[in-house]
Structure 1
Amino acid sequence: MSEMSGDDLAAVSQLRSSVMRLARRLRHQHVEQSLSPTEMGVLGTLARCGSATPGELARREHVQPPSMTRIIAMLEEKGLVRRESHPQDRRQVVVSMTEQAAEILDESRRRRNAWLAELAAQLTEEEWARLREAAPVLDKLAHL
């Protein structure tokens, strides 16, 4: 995309603000109040990507390895992840989530989806159609 016009810059600002506000409201819909957004993020990454080393999790979550080590320890203490020996490199560990964590994530997703569906029901048919079309583009932005 070339240099942005004033209208484009205004749209970027509105998009940023709206996405942040919606994300903040969605975070408040989670089931397990004792988990931080970072801890929920790590569990979500494990659910999407499967077991991973602490270093891989740190890269995916954009945190420093010592921070990820602390997060994993807290999740392990809560019974939500387990550490196992790496199958190829015994010097490393692999972190995987427990069944309890999977249940928390499933319930959290159900609750967030229901909340978002209630909001979407308040849109006009045209607004809902535009939002459905925008969803893949927003997903692409989230993963760039």
Structure 2
Amino acid sequence: MEADSPSQPVDELELAVGLARIRTMMRLLDVPRDLSITSLSTLASLERMGPRRLTELAAMEGVTQPAMTQLVTRLEREALAERLPDPSDGRVVVVAITQHGRAELARRRATQAKRLAELLSELSQADRASIAAALPALERLAARAFGSAEPPVPSPEVSE
């Protein structure tokens, strides 16, 4: 299928499979694996969207509330996240990313970017230009997925 031809129908299944392979590749570029993908995704969500209640985080990550409670406890032990009183309801707590958590995500993103740059350097200039040209559309796609008109802040999963 020729990417530049608007007359060619888009095969959504082919796109989904290709994007899933990219997601898997980005996860494989994230080393060390001392934090689970769910932990990294949770931190990235907190960084992108701000403090959230445990129930909301559990729903976003597709885990149970008890599992999210355990995950947040581990993130607190590592000083990557913290529980804070909800400013709108003092009886409730929210989970927030710490400065250490932000620094850890940034460190992982830098490592991931370096590894990706090494792979990209093995591609032709035309392939690199094609990938760069697709980025604005991918950002709009991600923004829609996150329910926002604004593109999301890059996340690791260390991509999500």
**Superposed displacement of residue 114, structure 1:** 1.2
Letter in 1 for 2:10: D
CA-to-partner distance for each residue in 1:121-141, whole Å, 9 max, x for gaps? Answer: 222222222211211222333
| TM-score, length-scaled by structure 2 | 0.72
The answer to whether the 8 Å contact 1:84/1:93 transfers is yes
**Superposed displacement of residue 60, structure 1:** 3.5
Structure 1 segment 76-87 matched on structure 2, within 5 A:
76-87=76-87
Q: 1:3 aligns to what? A: none
What is the RMSD computed on CA atoms of the aligned residues? 2.3
For structure 1, the 5+ residue unaligned runs are 1-5
Provide the C-alpha distance between the structure 2 equivalents of 1:132 and 1:75, rounded to a whole number of angstroms: 34
For structure 2, the 5+ residue unaligned runs are 1-7, 146-160
> How many aligned residue pairs are there?
137
Q: 1:68 aligns to what? A: 68
The answer to whether the 8 Å contact 1:31/1:104 transfers is no
User: Does 1:20 find its partner at 2:17?
Assistant: no
**What percent identity do the matched residue pairs reach?**
31
3-state SS, counterpart of residue 91 of structure 1: strand
User: Could you tell which deviates more after superposition, 41-50 or 68-77?
Assistant: 68-77
Question: Larger relative contact order (C-alpha < 8 A, sep ≥ 6)?
Answer: 2
User: Does 1:45 find its partner at 2:37?
Assistant: no
CA-to-partner distance for each residue in 1:12-61, whole Å, 9 max, x for gaps? Answer: 33332232222222212324422100000011111122222223323443
User: Could you tell which deviates more after superposition, 124-133 or 41-50?
Assistant: 124-133
